[in-house]
Chain A
């Protein structure tokens, strides 16, 4: 029984909220934003049709509070809630609550999320479907010694992962047994604070694997398709930084096989909506099932660029009860797309968060360039949330053109006030191994072991030196006359304004 959605509440913030508002606009659907104290003038609020305050700045008191979101949905008379990614996107109780309140949750059912969201259950489902999985063990309340023994049987290096996890949180690589205890505690405590569930499991850590995932779409009539792969091997702390499609190593045969496996596992769970099946791919191209993300991914635009399918619009259509608009054979693979995540982080300090005000912010444009930004000039970047500012997505007719265009677009950025990953991305785009498509999740550690991403040429460095000297020169000439007047107690604001204005105009020559 298809139901026309007229108004969607977006239970998120930042670039993904903006992305979903845009899809709503394209479909003629009203978009409702929610915001915490520090987001009252955020970009997603400015773009929405309606906006509802949902509490104090910490997300545990606003974006994560089910009651507040449901209340805003009721007050706005929204038909549906789009959770975006993160926050409540994979929260079983919230999906169930929406259903109970008569609201359409744009995503799979609570039951599916619960099954696939639990990495342990998902692993079991994959084994049942005959998919290869990475060797690993679960920790069922084992004490340290028992856990260590299990890790030893899997064989170091091992990866400790949160059972309820995602996004690299609660995940630790352990090279040697003597690092096991601290990593286990850290992973478990991170998992507990991020997901309210401290359970972890241990997996064999594959050496130099690639991270390749398949985008899937399923309707409620049992139709399921895949929309090609995305390679997301360039990561830091197990969080993706650069994604591309197609993968430089993919063959049509392997794509077909992995695509079929991905559709198969989600169909077994009665999956409805958009989702992603993640795989680890070893250097010899054997693939292992990793997990299913039951939501829209950050990197979904990469798939949109090469297939022409608007994934958010498809999510909404599926939620309305429409059958899929595409058959598998309709899905094309045109050209090559690369996404660079622009984070408010300092790559040279090991990607530590950078906060502040965007004092200048100008975005790249031109052929093949798409920017999904959650911020605008003068936006404040708070410490409380995910530090993703924007995504740069570039399309080219082939990988070579996509890389050239990405470099061009990155150089068009003008961002001041906070540190970002733009320079880092430029360094990667110039890296010979990246250009050759020789990727692995160990790429950064291998290619940039000292976290140095500067790619300054002599002319740029010299210009920066001149610009810095000029700033000091101009500054000194501005403050010297003021010092001469220091004895004057009372001054008209206008006269000092005019003096400053004249100094600016005439360069303050004395």
Chain B
């Protein structure tokens, strides 16, 4: 039976799913749960969880294990991994976020107004790195921690999308 480890806002769920003609037979953290899913479209469905009714819209970014679940007017981030893989990873003492490189990405789309750092600069947590104009506001992007700037990948006047790499740390 396919088994997943899902983490939502710091809570972990061990979920086993088995497809049946009348719905899914599931176990959540070992306890049996009846799940029925009625598809409304590509990503949306009505989900009945032990007769509690939810309308959900689940999006995958197609790259990693994160899923965005839109429901009840809000957006919820979930990370879904194969259960055994997740267990292996945690035995190896790795967190899911550890593979993140020293790349510093734009936290929002906008226009680079100012670069406050150059390669070789030492910055402390909270130091201004870049000023981005977005939606008519000037936003000072600050260093997330102490670091040394290895490379600057953008120039003044560039347009960046959210997630575009701006800097590289040593």
Contact = CB atoms under 8 A, between A and B. Distances in A.
A385 interface: yes
Given A415-B70, A475-B60, A464 B110 contact: no
A466 B35 contact: yes
Contact of B52 (A419, A459, A467): A459
A185 to B, nearest CB: 10
Given A412-B73, A422-B74, A189 B67 contact: no
B76 interface: yes
A507 B19 contact: yes
Contacts of A385: 135
B124 interface: no
Interface string A445-470: 00000000011100111111111111
Chain B interface bracket (under 10, 10 to 19, 20 to 34, 35 or more): 35 or more
Instruction: Specify the main secondary structure of chain A where it touches its partner.
Output: helix
A463 B73 contact: no
Given A360-B57, A383-B109, A383-B135, A426 B47 contact: no
Contact of B55 (A193, A354, A414, A417): A414
B28 A466 contact: yes
Contacts of B4: 469, 472-473
A416 interface: yes
A423 interface: yes
Chain A interface bracket (under 10, 10 to 19, 20 to 34, 35 or more): 35 or more
Interface string B51-78: 0101111111000010111111111101
Contacts of A411: 72-73
B107 to A, nearest CB: 6
B59 A426 contact: no
B97 interface: no
B58 A461 contact: no
Interface string B5-32: 0111101010101010000101010000
Given A462-B28, A465-B8, A473 B58 contact: no
A179 B54 CA distance: 49
Contact of B56 (A410, A455, A467): A467
Nearest to B62: A475
B73 A426 contact: yes
Given A189-B138, A470-B37, A473-B17, A355 B80 contact: no
Contact of B78 (A352, A359, A464): A464
Interface in B124-143: 133-140
A456 B9 contact: yes
Contact of B13 (A349, A415, A465, A476): A465
A219 B30 CA distance: 71
B115 interface: no
List of 5 A-B pairs having minimum Cβ-Cβ separation, nearest first: A468-B78, A423-B74, A468-B67, A465-B13, A413-B73
Interface of A: 169, 186, 189-190, 193-194, 237, 349, 352-355, 359-360, 383-387, 410-417, 419-420, 422-423, 426, 454-456, 459-473, 475-476, 504, 507, 509
21 contacts: A186-B140, A353-B134, A354-B162, A383-B134, A386-B136, A415-B73, A416-B57, A455-B74, A456-B9, A459-B52, A465-B7, A466-B35, A467-B58, A467-B69, A468-B69, A468-B78, A468-B80, A470-B37, A470-B58, A471-B60, A473-B4
